[in-house]
Amino acid sequence: MSSSSSVSSPRPRRVALFVTCLVDLFRPSVGFAAIKLLEDAGCTVEVPPLQVCCGQPAYNSGDRASARAIAAQVIDAFEGFEAVVAPSGSCAGMLAHHYPGLFDDDPPMKARAENLAGRSHELVSFLVDVLAVKSVVARHDGTVTYHDSCSGLRELGVKDQPRRLLESVQGLRLTEMKTPEVCCGFGGTFCVKYPEISNAMVAEKSADIAQSGADTLLAGDLGCLMNMAGKLQRLGSPVRVRHVAEVLADMAGLAAIGEPEAKR
Amino acid sequence: MQSTAHDFKHNVDDALADPNLQDSLSKLKVGFSERRRQAAERLPEFEALRDAARDIKNHALANLDFYLEEFERKVAGLGGHVHWAPTAADARRIIADLCRSVGAKTVAKSKSMVSEEIALNDHLEALGIAPIETDLGEYIIQLRHEPPSHIIAPAVHLTKDQVADTFLEHHRALGFTKRLTERNDLVAEARHVLREKFLKADVGLTGANFLVAETGSSMLVTNEGNADLSNTLPRMHIVLASIEKVIPTLEDAAVLLRVLARSATGQESSSYTTLNTGPKRPDDLDGPSQYHVVILDNGRSSVLGTKMQDMLRCIRCGACMNHCPVYGAIGGHAYGWVYPGPIGAVLTPQLIGVEEAGNLPNASTFCGRCESVCPVRIPLPNLMRHWREREFERHLTPRAVRQGLALWSFAAHRPKLYRRLSGLANRLLALFGRAHGHYRTLPLAGGWTRFRDLPAPPAGGTFHAQWARHGGARTRP
């Protein structure tokens, strides 16, 4: 299947995929969905092997030295690519907005961090805003609701892009929650450092999801998705949870997040 | 007031278990943010005004000494007095001395967060001077001996029924023996009781939203008009404000007012905006014969010129807490001191120490909604992160977090080792989670599984293992 839109540049773009540690460990299909979407849009996709994590666990815990060392490693791993694309607004936001500030006292590294920042993108906004993808060829029968993950929304302006592409998915109907822009309570280490507050937040989010009437919840960040999927399952909710890239790449035949795989 | 910020986690448990609080918070979360959104939408230049407001405050902070001295000179020229209070204790002493100089028995107070910061009421009461809160919300919580839970809506944690019970209990002796159920009746009863007190007060004490250097004026906004009675009826008016409230000109005040009310309550402007410029002049019909401005530092000047200076731009609109999902879950009292919500998480460690208030800047998902609505664009998540860095440097971060981070960081610096470990974790999680697709409990993951299931990865290995198997992995250019 290929994207129905034409890509502005005839030359395939050489794009590096930043897989993200959660996708690597918990949901590899999101990485493959991202590769498919990028290739359909005319990109050549590579996966630099030295990547691990963007460093947010250290950065947001106040461990600046570790965050810096990991950032330097990421900057090395993604040197030379036209674009670095992550299926996560949170990790892409870390590269695009927070890396340069880690090197305020090291001008050569700061310049490299700024260079990487300028090339770093969240997957769906890269498809829509940079590659001018207007539609996808995919089918998903049912009603979905879309949660705007915080970093993607507020750091990178990811809001309409996923909704625009979802409109082109056959059989899919989008229904909005009352407050799709309110945090789900994940917050990285926050959810285990302050589990009671996190629980109150994700319980409220779950009620909003249920109230939307959707049978499927989508978002662009696996951390948020695992948090919401885990809460919905604990509550016995029938709502299924998937990464938006899986639906856009027509890979929604897979078991949803936290569901058992079909017996073979 | 006595801080309980060190007991944050316990405070959180109490807050989450309080049905009245949760009922009140559910209303606050929708109301304030929706009204602010509509107000911002109605004003096409709102975003440009936020930039202008930020720039005005930055300019004032960069030239703070100049504008404070200019303000002092103007106030002196009008026949008023400026008193400098380096610490909370200094401010309490200055105010107590002023009250005693006129033999004051009662002080009519309009809402002042700085007076909470310096615990003024307790101090005055100990000296036999009765402080009377005249803002309705402040009056309610004064009756209940509670601190404010929000900087502009101090009694927002209470339901109408709780207020009705409180009034019945305290107003019965004044002849109000009926338990009221209508909001307007409650307000009318409070007005009646408070009006008497205004007329008897010896001193009026107000806060200030802005101190205008150009004119020596203190500017105050309210929706109840209580400040106007506090500062015109008694013979002495004391303004209590902190150093960062000074701005250069009335023109600047006009810009800040345009973002203040819209951000706070969604109003275009508050019902009352009052400028106090010196004591009563010979031709004035009324006003105080003495006008004093007490300006408090209390640790603020030490952040000038540092990365943390941005916190001093705050104009106390409350938008950050109105939009904060953490505040929305736990309310203001759980923060344990005077200033709750995101701005509290940034200010409190500065004002009472990060050892005491270290939990506050950590209890945030960094969702960024606070920064996205702040009228003066304070980078609140970044400032919270700065505190986390200070805590980490000083080994105040909990040991379990430090050890976990050290292990994770060791592996994250070694991609090959990391791949082996993540491959192993992935296989184990997939294997034992195969039957259900998720875990209801998991050793070492109690923080997660106490409230939610943990999704298991599907079989087949990590992404990187699968990619390598597909022969996809290419070396870097």
Report the C-alpha gap between A240 and B273 in whole angstroms: 52
Q: Does residue A8 or residue B216 have the better pLDDT? A: B216
Rounded percentage of chain B residues whose pLDDT exceeds 90? 85
Q: Is B307 on the interface with A (CB under 8 A)?
A: no
Reported as a pLDDT band with limits 50, 70 and 90, residue A10 is low
Reported as a pLDDT band with limits 50, 70 and 90, residue A13 is confident
Alpha helix segments (H runs only) across B201-336: 226-232, 250-264, 319-322, 325-330
Pick the CATH number of A134-248 from 3.30.70.580, 3.30.499.10, 3.90.1150.10, 3.40.50.11810: 3.40.50.11810
Pick from A133, A127, A55: which is nearest to A94 by CA? A55
Please tell me if the domain spanning A13-129 has the same topology as the one spanning A134-248: yes
CB contact under 8 A, B455 and A258: yes
Q: Residue ranges of the domains in chain A?
A: 13-129, 134-248
CA distance B55 to chain A (A): 22
Q: Is B453 on the interface with A (CB under 8 A)?
A: yes
Reported as a pLDDT band with limits 50, 70 and 90, residue A11 is low
Contacts of A69 in chain B (CB under 8 A): 409, 413
Q: For residues B287 and B403, state if they share a domain.
A: no
pLDDT of the residue at B449: 95
Q: For residues B289 and B172, state if they share a domain.
A: yes
Best of B359, B429, B452 to substitute, by most chain A Cβ atoms within 10 angstroms, is B452
Rounded percentage of chain A residues whose pLDDT exceeds 70? 95
CB contact under 8 A, A196 and B12: yes
CA distance B332 to chain A (A): 13
Which pTM value belongs to this model? 0.94
Asked whether the beta carbons of A35 and A86 are under 8 A apart, the reply is no
Q: Is B329 on the interface with A (CB under 8 A)?
A: yes
Reported as a pLDDT band with limits 50, 70 and 90, residue B398 is confident
Q: Is A60 on the interface with B (CB under 8 A)?
A: yes
Contacts of A59 in chain B (CB under 8 A): 385
Q: Is A88 on the interface with B (CB under 8 A)?
A: no
Strands A170-174 and A216-219: unpaired
* pLDDT tens sequence across B190-200: 999 988 888 88
Q: Does residue A11 or residue B237 have the better pLDDT? A: B237
Partner-chain residue, chosen from A32, A48, A187, that has the shortest CB–CB distance to B365: A187
* pLDDT tens sequence across A137-175: 999 999 999 999 999 999 999 999 999 999 999 999 999
Structural domain ending residue among the three candidates B301, B326, B344: B301
Domain count, chain B: 2
Alpha helix segments (H runs only) across A82-237: 89-93, 107-119, 123-125, 150-156, 160-167, 190-193, 195-212, 222-234
CA distance B295 to chain A (A): 34
* pLDDT tens sequence across B331-373: 999 999 999 999 999 999 999 999 999 999 999 999 999 999 9
Hey, what amino acid is at A36?
Answer: K
CB contact under 8 A, B447 and A229: no
Pick from B400, B388, B301: which is nearest to A192 by CA? B400
CATH code of residue B227: 3.40.50.10420
Judge whether B164 lies within some domain. Answer: yes
- Secondary structure (DSSP) of B385-404: HHHHHHHHHTT-S-HHHHHH
pLDDT of the residue at B315: 98
Report the C-alpha gap between B131 and B126 in whole angstroms: 11
* pLDDT tens sequence across B151-175: 999 999 999 999 999 999 999 999 9
Q: How many A×B Cβ pairs under 8 Å?
A: 222
CB contact under 8 A, A187 and B457: no
The CA distances from residue B220 to B36, B68, B99, B111, B339, in Å, are 20, 18, 21, 10, 19
* Res A2 pLDDT > 50: no
* pLDDT tens sequence across B280-331: 999 998 899 999 999 999 999 999 999 999 999 999 999 999 999 999 999 9
CB neighbour class for B395 (10 Å; exposed up to 12, middle 13-18, buried from 19): exposed
Contacts of A260 in chain B (CB under 8 A): 434-437
pLDDT of the residue at A12: 60
Structural domain ending residue among the three candidates B276, B301, B326: B301
Asked whether the beta carbons of B390 and A62 are under 8 A apart, the reply is yes
* Res A1 pLDDT > 50: no
Task: Show which of residues 173-202 on chain A sit within 8 Å of chain B, judged by CB atoms.
Answer: 181-183, 185-202
CA distance B28 to chain A (A): 14
Pick the CATH number of A13-129 from 3.10.50, 3.30.750, 3.40.50, 3.40.91: 3.40.50
Partner-chain residue, chosen from A19, A185, A187, that has the shortest CB–CB distance to B463: A19
Judge whether B7 lies within some domain. Answer: no
Tell me the residue range of the domain where B283 lies.
Answer: 36-301
Q: For residues B46 and B158, state if they share a domain.
A: yes
Pick from A141, A156, A164, A117: which is nearest to A215 by CA? A141
